[in-house]
Amino acid sequence: MRIVLVSHGSFSKGLYETMEMVLGPQEKLAYIGLYPHQGIDELKANIEAEFKKADPDEEILVLTDLFYGSPFNAVVQLMSKWDVYHLTGINVPLLMEILLMRGNDKSASEICDETLKLATNTVSDVRKYLEDLKKADVPSDEDDF
């Protein structure tokens, strides 16, 4: 499975580099950023160039940063021509889980379903978390976090 990260600016590159740092080198993982000097047509051409690198029967999963942003819209426009899976709202914990699932031979459809279940657990209110620990009288040292 080929995974393509598409974002505003260098966010997708940062995700890519973070995954290589945490999980090691990743095959068939690409990133594309949209920069102020580019238009939607150039972005779509760059995305399509990545799609063309996929083997004929290889699944493609596209991960975008922002619902209804330009990268999201570019991918949606290409979905009429390309059979791709598309998740939006990507972040570091979700991408790590997605890459681990891919490594366990999950299909793109299975990854999409599981990612939606995991998404609610990727953002935490740390202040509330620490307050809840105190209320539960759980000994903790904030310096340990």
Overall domain count for the chain: 1
Residue 64 inside a domain? The answer is: yes
Find out whether 4 and 51 touch, Cβ atoms under 8 Å.
yes
Residue 145 inside a domain? The answer is: no
Full-model pTM: 0.89
CA-nearest of 6, 3, 10 to 71 is 6
Structural domain range at position 80: 2-138
Residue 143 inside a domain? The answer is: no
Residue 127 inside a domain? The answer is: yes
Residue 144 inside a domain? The answer is: no
Q: How far is CA 83 from CA 37, 44, 46, 134, in A?
A: 29, 15, 17, 50
- DSSP states of 66-106 as a string? STTSHHHHHHHHHTTTS--EEEES--HHHHHHHHHHHHTT-
**Per-residue pLDDT tens digits of the chain, which is 145 residues long:** 999 999 999 999 999 999 999 999 999 999 999 999 999 999 999 999 999 999 999 999 999 999 999 999 999 999 999 999 999 999 999 999 999 999 999 999 999 999 999 998 888 888 998 899 888 876 666 555 5
CATH number, domain of 89, equals 3.40.50.510
